[in-house]
Amino acid sequence: MRHLILVLGLGISLLSCSRQSSNEENVQLIDRYVKAVEDLDYGAMETLLDDDYLGLGPSYGDSIRKPEAIQNLKSNIENLYESIEYDRSRNLAVHVPDGPDKGDWVSNWAELTIQYKNSGKMVKVWANSIYKVHEGKIVKSMTFYNEADVLEQLGYVFINPDDL
C-alpha cells in the first residue's frame, strides 16, 4: 500500500512538471510569434504556423488559412504598416481538458502601436489573440480587437445611413 501511494504521488508530480514545461514551451512559441510580427518577419511567422493553421477574427465569420495569412501579412508589411509594436504584452497558458477545443492554448493580450506607411498615422489598439498550440506549432488562433476604433483613429467617420 505504501508503494502504491508513493507511485501515485510521483506520477502526479511528473504530470504536473510535464504540464508546466509544456506551458512554458507554448508561451515561448507565442513570444517568438509576437517577435516575428514586431520584426515584420513573415518568413519566421510561416515557420511557427502549422500547415493546417486556421485563423479566426476579428469579426464574426472571418477566417483565414496559413497561405492567405502569410500573403496578407506580407502585403500589409510591404504596403501598409511601417511598424507594429506590442506594448504591455502578456501571455497566459492554459490546458482545456475536454470539448471541441480541447488542447493547449496561450492567450496573448496587449496594447499595440501600429505606424502606417503612407499617412504616417499611428494608432493604439487593445488586442487579444488566443492561440491553440500542438506539437510546437500554432494550429488555430482567435483574434479580437475593435476595428471601428482603429478606423476612427485613422480619420474615418461613421455615418448612419438613415441620415444620408
What one-character-per-residue DSSP string does the chain give? Answer: -HHHHHHHHHHHHHHHHHHHHHHHHHHHHHHHHHHHHHTT-HHHHHHHEEEEEEEE-SSTT-EEEHHHHHHHHHHHHHHTEEEEEEEEEEEEEEEE-SSTT-EEEEEEEEEEEEEETTT--EEEEEEEEEEEEETTEEEEEEEEE-HHHHHHHTT-----GGG-
Q: What is the pLDDT of residue 127?
A: 97
Q: Give the CATH number of the domain where residue 49 resides.
A: 3.10.450.50
pTM: 0.83
pLDDT on residue 6: 47
Find the domain containing 84 and state its range: 17-156
Q: Percent of the chain scored above 70 by pLDDT? A: 88
Whether residue 67 lies inside any domain: the answer is yes
Number of compact structural domains in the chain: 1
For residue 12, tell me if it sits in a domain: no
Residue 5 lies in a domain: no
How confident is the model over 106-163, as pLDDT tens digits? 999 999 999 999 899 999 999 999 999 999 999 999 999 999 999 999 999 999 999 9
In a domain, 123, yes or no: yes
Given this model, what pLDDT does residue 5 score? 55
Q: Is the residue at 164 inside a domain?
A: no
The per-residue pLDDT for 14 is: 44
- Domain annotation covers residue 44: yes
Share of the chain above pLDDT 90, in %: 78
Is 41 a domain residue?
A: yes
Whether 4 maps to a domain, the answer reads no
